[in-house]
Structure 1
Amino acid sequence: MTDWRAVIIGFLVTTVLSIVGLAIPGIGQFVAGLVGGFVAGYLAGGGLGRGFWHGLLAGAFGGIVVGVLLALVVALTGWAAGPIGGLLSGVAGIGILLAALLVSFILALESALAGAVGGLFNPRSQSSGRTRRSRR
């Protein structure tokens, strides 16, 4: 079962570090995906598979949200330029969205690998039958 809390926290870590990482294009986003995936996998726990899954979801959400926002900004900017500008920016926005989806797929894979490592570092196992509340 998916631990959405871990996915959302990993997504937020990736998003914040991606914004900070704009100062170092490419490297900043790469590190953000690794750290966010690791955090999601660590919080989910349960080993390689569970960490991989949660890191993948956190990385994919981050890439898709950024891609959609970037495509919308380009489309709206062109829309302000009138009908011809709107048409051209709409086409450019679709191209940017497709490129962003491809990049998000690649970043989701690296986030998933980091999530698998994070899942290994978390000693608690979700498959042990105990819930978080019963551990207190």
Structure 2
Amino acid sequence: MTDWRAVIIGFLVITVLGAIGLTLPGVGQLAAGLVGGFVAGYLAGGGLGRGFWHGLLAGAFGGIVTGLLLALVVGVAGWAGGPVGGLISGVAGIGIFAVAIVLSFVLAIESAIAGALGALLES
């Protein structure tokens, strides 16, 4: 069964470190995913598979929420351009969100591997 407490704490670690990591684009988000996945796996414990699962969930949620916020900002910013600007930025926001969902699941693999390592060290 999923330990949602571990997933949410891992997600919060990814979110906070990801925001701080914006000063180092790419590297900051990579480190945030690794640390957050490790925390989720460590808190969940129970072996490699359980840690992998909890790290995967924490990483995926982090990517989806980040993508949603970015798409929302792009969509709202387009309102300044009037109806046409709103339409263009709305379409761009939907596209950004779709790409962010796909990337979040791909990049969640790093969190899952770190989660498996965290669960292994916890045992």
Provide runs of 4+ in structure 1 moved above 4 Å.
none
Aligned partner of 2:13 in structure 1 is 13
C-alpha distance in structure 2 between counterparts of 1:122 and 1:110, whole Å: 18
Aligned partner of 1:119 in structure 2 is 119
Q: Normalized per residue, which structure has more helix?
A: 2
Please report the TM-score for the alignment, with normalisation by the length of structure 2. 0.97
Amino acid at match of 1:9: I
Larger Rg: 1
Stretches of structure 1 that go unaligned for 5 or more consecutive residues are: 124-136
Please report the TM-score for the alignment, with normalisation by the length of structure 1. 0.88
Aligned partner of 1:128 in structure 2 is none
Aligned partner of 1:101 in structure 2 is 101
Q: CA RMSD in A?
A: 0.8
Q: Deviations over 1:110-131 (max 9, x none)?
A: 10011011110112xxxxxxxx
Aligned partner of 2:83 in structure 1 is 83
Stretches of structure 2 that go unaligned for 5 or more consecutive residues are: none
Percent same amino acid among aligned pairs? 75
* Shift of residue 34, structure 1, vs aligned partner: 0.4
C-alpha distance in structure 1 between counterparts of 2:42 and 2:73, whole Å: 34
Amino acid at match of 2:9: I
Aligned partner of 2:66 in structure 1 is 66
SS in 1 for 2:85: helix
* Shift of residue 80, structure 1, vs aligned partner: 2.8
C-alpha distance in structure 2 between counterparts of 1:72 and 1:27, whole Å: 24
